[in-house]
Structure 1
């Protein structure tokens, strides 16, 4: 939707040659918009209680930037979250001072703070732990809450990495993605082989045809702090498993490639065809299929603590039955 006031000022009253390309003018405009947006958030918050979530992000100059998000219940009873601001920090004391300074800047009393949350997988984990302790020491009602789904993901990562066979599974798959998806040419070859196999299976009646079925996919990379991505990774590997060896075999036979590349493809081809790899693949798909459903459920906005604990208990029962 177009804002008529902005349209009148920026479009109708400005000369056509005014492009606003000077960096200082652009920064002033962005700063003015940020101030107005923040003032609107503070006005909506009024004198309500609130909680904060502090995370970190590394900018292009490799400096750690602390990001503060504020969470509260608005006048309509809706839980809302807004970005309050960010700043560079270097140690625990600085982090605490920066948070208090940011809140004070917007005339928010930290005594109204009723919750705090931090990313335990962050590069600034130590700083955030120190900040949590400092705030709790002064304000006992600023309860620390850790994201349930993040706890589940970190637990899965920690346990799985202790099993050498499962670690090898993901290490091997990462190499497969790098080799098979290492170029657009190989990626296209994989898609062509997969498409041909799907057509053949459909003609033989081995696959069902219908809306949403047999869609084109590709090998997906996994990320450690998003453990649900590991499940999607393994599912994509299982789906394209019959096509991957064909691509690796083509790489092995390609005399234009270096001996190191062909040797790596040959080793991957042998590893993919072992019983240990197939067993680990199907085992982890079954296990993560259980936890992935709970992970998605824990991310729902309407989730509550009672239902969350019930979901965790059901997951434990299903794993124990396995």
Structure 2
């Protein structure tokens, strides 16, 4: 039966996407843009996305949902297509979507740091500690001089590590740099 379902072209994702009306596509764009704006606000101000009670009747919902609600209250057109007015399977408020949006912002910031450093050299500051779950993690900061001669320090990433030996930390740094298209040759 699964094979037969795969063979039916009218059930493919591409066909379903093309069947969407322009209105549905526009509403989805609005929901996504509002989620991005709420995420940008929370990230810029170092505010948490989640609360301990995100139910509909909660007095203190998550900051993310409160930000969406505020944006919807300020713009009637947006309010008509977000949160409870959106289809249950297309609200763009899930934690995975929030993490994806935050990751996109992080990647853009890291890209701008790499561009600012360019081909110059930088220093690497590494600090190891354990998180609340007693798991080892390593924070990496880059120190460099920009084109105006100003010394800058930028957070580059945090990585879970299995230990604190130099070989484990170096391997984690190599992996972090490779992930972001950087090279240890500049350090």
C-alpha separation in 2, matches of 1:25 and 1:31: 10
Query: How many aligned positions are there?
Result: 107
Considering fraction of residues, name the structure with more helix: 1
Cα deviation 1:272-314 (Å, max 9, x = unaligned)? xxxxxxxxxxxxxxxxxxxxxxxxxxxxxxxxxxxxxxxxxxx
- For the pair 1:65 / 2:137, whether they are aligned, the reply is yes
- Structure-1-length-normalised TM-score: 0.30
Q: Aligned residue for 1:112?
A: 186
Runs of 4+ more than 3 Å apart: 11-14, 18-21
TM alignment of 1:17-166, pairs within 5 A? 17=83, 20-91=92-163, 92=165, 93-113=167-187
Secondary structure of the 1:76 match is coil
TM alignment of 1:135-284, pairs within 5 A? none
Cα deviation 1:200-248 (Å, max 9, x = unaligned)? xxxxxxxxxxxxxxxxxxxxxxxxxxxxxxxxxxxxxxxxxxxxxxxxx
Superposed displacement of residue 79, structure 1: 0.6
Secondary structure of the 1:49 match is coil
C-alpha separation in 1, matches of 2:181 and 2:100: 23
C-alpha separation in 1, matches of 2:144 and 2:104: 24
C-alpha separation in 2, matches of 1:110 and 1:68: 13
C-alpha separation in 2, matches of 1:75 and 1:81: 14
- For the pair 1:9 / 2:17, whether they are aligned, the reply is no
Where do 5+ consecutive residues of structure 1 fail to align?
A: 1-7, 114-322
Superposed displacement of residue 86, structure 1: 1.2
**Distance change in 2, residues 1:61/1:20 (3 Å):** farther
Superposed displacement of residue 20, structure 1: 4.8
* Structure with max Cα Rg: 1
Superposed displacement of residue 65, structure 1: 0.7
Secondary structure of the 1:71 match is strand
C-alpha separation in 2, matches of 1:50 and 1:36: 19
C-alpha separation in 2, matches of 1:23 and 1:84: 23
